[in-house]
Structure 1
Amino acid sequence: MINKNVLSLKQSATLLINEKVKDLRKEGRTISHFGFGQSPFPIFPSIVASLQQHADNNHYLPVAGLESLREHIVSFLAKEQGIHTTKEAVFIGPGSKELLYQTILIFEAEYLIPKGSWVSYIPQIQSKGGTYHILDTDLEHDFKLTAHALEAFLIDQPKEKEFVLILNSPNNPTGTVYSLEEYKALAEVCKKYSIMVMSDEIYSQINFNQPYSPSISAHYPEGTIVFGGLSKVFSAGGYRLGYMMLPEKLKDLQNVYKSLFSETFSCVSSPVQYAAINAYEYQKDLKQYVADSSAILKGVSAFMYDEFTKVGVQCTRSEGAFYMVIGFNTFKKQLSEMNVRTSSNLAHYILEHFGVAMLPGVDFGFQEEELFFRLAFVDFDGANVMDAYQKGSKIDALFIKEHCPSIYNGVTQVQAFVKSME
């Protein structure tokens, strides 16, 4: 009597590894935790103060979200992401994760997932009995989907089929960012084949080279649904507030979304919505705080990239978010002699023998025999690191050794693992 699609699901890999690490640390093990992607920085004080100020608000808010909050998001998107919309097109939900899921429930289409995508897209599609296709990507392009690969798949598909492409930039798990030129090429293919795009932009302002990351909606506004939220940019994962923006072309679906929301989560917590107004006002001091967070993460990722590539570990070069993908495919012969042939096997081996937790690539759309892994480089005291950085400290190996010891130890242990195979 239980939905077989739901029965086939397993617990989210990111949440599962977090629980595993907590258990090992309780046992006294020293573990470098590269498995869980939560912002390490404290929530900015003005956001917390706003939450406290409205803590006694116990009213149900409009299903689409607080009107003032939606107006602030419209302004934020225009000023800080170059996206223009109206408050009627913006919806508030309990995290962008839930809004992505509700959208997947609404659309009857086949879903296109680039290899190297967030862990929850595929399980969400599976839970409704949907169909998905993993599109090929490669390390040469940092696992970004190319227009050529997208069209190579679509050109052989029946014309009556409808597809939805899910894109994420800055990307989880790779940390890479699509350029406007890359998006332009993808948009041309999407227009040609009438593909709808779900653009997951939850990390948009965590960009290592510019204030925000490009959006495919700049080239394809009529066919792109944009998703964002508080969790990553504003370090407020536990607040559980996300937003989505429907394009003008899909305005007839506004009431469909409201109906579904009204029968599921009703509305997001009132105090959290009022606190979110403060975030999306994005005042100068908060904007600088986000920029400082990005600068710190950039320094940490550069250190890791340099240290990994020194010993022959494959590595994507992060441009945003707080992730990178590393690979051990050049060591397959040595690993095979150790009877380690899959990414799951290798993740378990490195955790048990070297105390480093990382997620196997199979959770992100890679094949088991592809020895790629996602690393989240956030296992440090964000308040301490922010304080040191704002006092003028340079983010180099000495800084990371002193202020990010778990990161430093994890990198050292991965290097020790590689040297053990020599």
Structure 2
Amino acid sequence: MKSKFLSKRYWNDITTPMGESNDFLKKFNDIIDFSLGDPDLTTDERIINAAFEDAKNGYTHYTDFYGDMELRKEICKYYKDEYAYPVNTEDCMVTTSGCHAMWLVLEAILDDGDEVIIPGPYFTPYPQQVKLARGIPVVLETKEEEEFQINAERLEKLITNRTKAIIINTPNNPTGTCFSLKTLESIAAIAKKYDLLIIADDIYTLFSYSEPFIPIMTLKDMRERTISINSFSKNYVMTGWRIGYVIAPSYIINTIKDINENNVFTAPSISQRAALYALKNRKEIQPEIVRSYKERILYAYERITEISNMSVLYPRGSIYLFVNIKETGLSSDEVAKRLLEEAHVLVLPGNAFGKCGEGYIRLAMTMGIDKMNTAFNRIAKMSLFQNQKSHSFA
């Protein structure tokens, strides 16, 4: 909206399909929602109860500006235990979510006009987050026929004198791809060749189904040029707690801390205590989360393979399926609209994740199999998806 009282940066509408999805939920009273990656699972009671006790015992104040020291030590211990990778507390800062971490990082590293390469399809906020930090987003397209891996040759062609960083997200939202070691090594080689930073958005590390997750910062000579962002939202089903963290060289962490002093000051103390107990109890808490999501995503994959005009790569990671609907002959927006109107099923159109997402829809596995069964039964009855490829499900 154009108004003299609004910044000119926001005169053009920047609302995304992800942001609009909440309004669509009100359209019908029986909508089945595949749109947002907000788990239906509730945070484990052990985390809730421990954080509640800490709140009663006085953990209701500002924490250290870098984050609760006990939590930061536990984060460092986590990287040592899981990846044999040493992290010092001065290289770690707790943030108010992964999204907040990304903004702080971009604000800390970008000069006006610096370019950030973003592989697409991408997490919807990335381009706007870069622009908010006065940078220029440059999209690198990935392709389904290449399993959405990053192509090193196409990546290198996008690099200019203004390129500052490359954002990587693996396991990926929305495609579900997990970058192979070969892909990570090629990205690392390019970063070293052109003296670039890698911003690793490591939000779905728990959901790498085929092979163990490898943080790119653990590769040779990548410590000083990698900024890793993580969050408790998906790995511990703690979306509402709004807690994340950054691992980076201490001089970057110091700058982020100074920026955050003028933003939210510190992350919520109670949420930080919850994150501490999540990390300490991860061996007991996380296996059931992984089992549940893997069961759901495999079930959804099987259902999709039975429906005409839909196809999808075998699930590799994350909590999403990026479904190819090109055989319908309709756009992503048109398919998403018909799914909502005719089946009362809410999905996000693939173009919400960049131009190369056109021809796809994203499904988030944030519901139980019974509800998913109902959703796919409704979809299979639509004329758009008739003539099923094999048998039907009851």
Q: Distance in 2 between matches of 1:197 and 1:343?
A: 31
> Which of 377, 385, 392 matches 1:419?
385
Aligned partner of 2:130 in structure 1 is: 125
* Structure 1 counterpart of 2:333, one-letter code: S
**2:217 is the counterpart of 1:217:** yes
Q: Distance in 2 between matches of 1:204 and 1:124?
A: 22
State, as a whole percentage, how many aligned pairs show the same letter: 23
Alpha-carbon shift at residue 42 of structure 1 (Å): 2.0
Alpha-carbon shift at residue 15 of structure 1 (Å): 4.2
Aligned partner of 1:255 in structure 2 is: 254
SS for the counterpart of 2:165 is strand
Q: Distance in 2 between matches of 1:8 and 1:96?
A: 26
Q: Distance in 1 between matches of 2:192 and 2:258?
A: 29
Aligned partner of 2:34 in structure 1 is: 34
Contact map agreement 2:325 2:332 (CA 8 A) in 1: no
> How large is the Cα RMSD of the aligned pairs?
2.1
Q: After superposition, where does 1:17-416 map in structure 2 within 5 Å? A: 17-21=21-25, 23-25=26-28, 28=29, 30-56=30-56, 57-108=59-110, 109-154=114-159, 157=160, 160-210=161-211, 212-219=212-219, 220-247=222-249, 251-281=250-280, 283=281, 286-310=282-306, 311-332=308-329, 335=330, 342-367=331-356, 370-380=358-368, 404-416=369-381
Aligned partner of 1:384 in structure 2 is: none
Q: Distance in 2 between matches of 1:308 and 1:118?
A: 23
Tell me the TM-score normalized by structure 2.
0.89
Contact map agreement 2:108 2:252 (CA 8 A) in 1: no
Alpha-carbon shift at residue 312 of structure 1 (Å): 4.4
Structure number with the higher helix fraction is 1
* Structure 2 counterpart of 1:305, one-letter code: Y
Q: Distance in 2 between matches of 1:189 and 1:416?
A: 48
Q: Distance in 2 between matches of 1:81 and 1:356?
A: 40
Alpha-carbon shift at residue 421 of structure 1 (Å): 8.0
Contact map agreement 1:361 1:374 (CA 8 A) in 2: yes
**2:12 is the counterpart of 1:14:** no
Alpha-carbon shift at residue 181 of structure 1 (Å): 2.3
Q: Structure 2: which 5+ runs fail to align? A: 389-394
Which runs of structure 1 show a deviation greater than 6 angstroms over 4 or more consecutive aligned residues?
A: none
Contact map agreement 1:5 1:127 (CA 8 A) in 2: no
Q: Distance in 1 between matches of 2:84 and 2:327?
A: 41
| Aligned residues between the structures | 375
Tell me the TM-score normalized by structure 1.
0.83
